[in-house]
Amino acid sequence: MRTGKLVMVVVATLFLVGTGTAGAMGIEAAVGGWRQSPSGSLGYDAVDDGDILDMEENFRYSEEEGFMGRVVIDMPLVLPNIYLMANTMEFSGTGQMGEAFKFGDISFDPGEFDSEISLNHLDVALYYGIPLLETASLGLVDINFGINIRLYDYEVSIHQELSGLDESEDGFLPIPMVFLWVRVSPIDELSFEVEGRGITYNGNDMYSIIGRVKMNILGPIFAAGGYRYDKLSVDESDVEMNIEFSGPFLEAGFSF
């Protein structure tokens, strides 16, 4: 996989954090792992339905662990707050097709093939909270809304050992989204959170929903767990994806 570009994503995240914390009123940071279960289908320059490959039946991908890292910066005055989140999505395996199929400019023979898919991405959200809601609810409810840009760095490759055929496609896909974040804190040490990011345009659908339970365990240190669901249904640059990823996650971090 393209680990070099993933490093660039992490560096960009740290740079944005560094520029934002100088005048920030508060910061929250966490790292963890997300167990991703893939489903759906993918094709590259497909001619007919026989060129659309199923993630489970054809690619034969199974669950994988992905990295999650996030930083939330509460900005002062009228500046929008900043939410940065980096995620890795990388799958590989040996698949099977009963008939010949086309992928990109290559027509592959029936039989086994090796493949890799990478959908690493960075979310950058700018948001505001509903004025005075947290104060009026005595800290019980906090609702935030804004815009999110998801920056996908994707790569898909197929290699067939017997025929010696190879094909790959990679690219960079920025996606603007609506952002919503709701937190309910019945006590100071415990909170329930739901994050939503999504957009629909020209037949393309992209959604990401995160449910999280977070508990402070020692001072500013907290542990959290929850469930995440992502849907990516898009046809861009001859790459047709209708993919879903879902599964539980755990994370640890600090806030002050």
**Segment 24-81, tens digit of pLDDT:** 578 999 999 999 999 999 999 888 889 999 999 999 999 999 999 999 999 887 899 9
Residue with tokens 């005048």: 23
Q: What is the pLDDT of residue 24?
A: 56
pLDDT confidence band for 7 (50 / 70 / 90): very low
Q: Residue 65: CB partners within 8 Å, gap ≥ 6?
A: 33, 34, 35, 36
Question: What stretches of the chain show up as alpha helix (H) in DSSP?
Answer: 3-20, 133-136
Q: What is the pLDDT of residue 9?
A: 56
DSSP 194-219: EEEEEEEETTEEEEEEEEEEEEEEET
Answer whether residue 213 shows pLDDT above 90. yes
In the predicted model, what is the mean pLDDT of the chain? 89
Q: Residue 67: CB partners within 8 Å, gap ≥ 6?
A: 31, 32, 33, 34, 86, 87, 88
Answer whether residue 6 shows pLDDT above 80. no
DSSP state of 51: G
Q: What is the pLDDT of residue 1?
A: 45
Q: Residue 149: CB partners within 8 Å, gap ≥ 6?
A: 123, 124, 125, 174, 175, 176, 177
